[in-house]
Amino acid sequence: MLASEVAKPWWKETIETIVWALALAWLIRTFVVQAFWIPSGSMLPTLQVGDRVLVAKFWNWFTDPSRGSIYVFKYPEDRSRDFIKRIIAVPGDTVNIQEGIVYINGSPVDEPYVVNKDHYTMRPNKFYQTVPFTVPEGQYFALGDNRPNSQDGRFWGYVPAKDIHGPAFFRYWPLNRIGLPR
């Protein structure tokens, strides 16, 4: 050991290690990856109640949310809650829903992930003055895969881009369903 090096007491090393670990965990959770728990059946059968997914929070730095991908975002009516839904339409898309069939830019969307279908028909409301409607710049339209049991964009409007955490890219729990949520 050099004369200029002085060993720190064990308690000081321990405190520094804990502080650095907490700082690193906070940085990773805030800017890189965060785990989320699925509390409801609104995304059945894609995501089950109790599934746990990882969300790539950095992803939006490189690319905009894409149609058909599953994203976690701040719930527009209560920003203290997070929701997970599928992005159905991106800015500039024209959306219509007739008898449970989603039309984007006039064409029906192939949605093999929607097993539980409904017969919902979009009507003008406080969020959509006209039907069909066009998704504004900086906004997204999101729906749950379990349409009859999903509180989604049909009822609370658009998701602002600034409120999107990122895509759910990996299901890590339960172990028998580990993999990519599609």
Q: What confidence score (pLDDT) does residue 5 get?
A: 67
Sign of CA dihedral 170, 40, 99, 137: negative
Amino acid identity for residue 169 in this structure? F
Q: What confidence score (pLDDT) does residue 70 get?
A: 97
Q: What confidence score (pLDDT) does residue 146 get?
A: 97
Q: Phi/psi of residue 50, each to 5°?
A: 95, -10
pTM score of the predicted model? 0.83
Out of 2.60.40.10, 2.170.150.70, 2.10.109.10, 3.40.50.1370, the CATH code matching 10-176 is 2.10.109.10
- Contact by Cβ (8 Å): 150, 113: no
Burial of 89 (0-12, 13-18, 19+ CB in 10 A): buried
The tokens for 126 are: 């406080």
Q: What confidence score (pLDDT) does residue 91 get?
A: 98
Partners of residue 71 on adjacent β-strands: 85, 167
Token pair 């990122």 in the structure block, residue: 166
Q: What confidence score (pLDDT) does residue 2 get?
A: 57
Q: What is the pLDDT along the chain (182 residues), one digit of tens a residue?
A: 555 567 888 888 888 878 777 777 776 666 668 999 999 999 999 999 999 999 999 887 789 999 999 999 999 999 899 999 999 999 999 999 999 999 999 999 999 999 999 999 999 988 888 999 999 999 999 999 999 999 999 999 999 999 999 999 999 999 999 988 88
Residues classed as catalytic: 42, 85
Q: What confidence score (pLDDT) does residue 15 get?
A: 84
Q: Phi/psi of residue 177, each to 5°?
A: -120, 20
